[in-house]
Structure 1
Amino acid sequence: MTIPIVRTIADLRKTVAVWRQEGLRVAVVPTMGALHDGHLSLVRAALERADRAIVTLFVNPKQFNSAADLVAYPRTEHEDAAKLAPLGTHILYAPHASEIYPEGFATTVSVAGVSEG
């Protein structure tokens, strides 16, 4: 059993649009990969509550203060896909950073209050 891996926003939107046209409920479990039992329990919960489940796997470079930490973060896509497939996960969305942050990307969000020390 294998799980489809989707790399582009356009392909993901296309699939989800079909599911919604069919009246299906879609759940999303966002992760940075290196899946463990906690992640898998979230996937099981998503599958209990929705008709389709998408797990995202994106190691967000904007989340790291240190380039060394980003490089050191585990990349386990194949192992993660193998853990997700038997659960019945419908899609593993694993975009490259350039898909999320295309050339010329300049958007930032600053939230007052909750993000302050």
Structure 2
Amino acid sequence: TEILTFYSNFHSYRFIKDLMVIRMHHGLSAETLASINADFCDILKSGEFTCCAAHPEEANETHLLGMPRLSFRAKRGKAGRIRQLIDRINAAAPGVMPCQEKATEQG
């Protein structure tokens, strides 16, 4: 059960320089993104949690390019809080992330 829940929305993560990028099966609503920014600001080295498209460094992972992403600069030594963040991501209802809305409007 733990494994099934762990991957219910969370797919994977990677670091691109000092940026942690979490790939998800579905996006998060603007409200969920705002609550994550408020509730998990203690794990930010700087900046805030933002949605983003695939980075050029991920170009070789073509099967992952269309996935919604949450990116942030994480403090070191916060693995437990990052796990709690993943749990929040998994518990969130599917939504359209603000960056997805912009892409839809422009497309």
**TM over 0.5, shorter chain:** no
Higher radius of gyration, 1 or 2: 1
Q: 1 or 2, which has the higher strand percentage?
A: 2
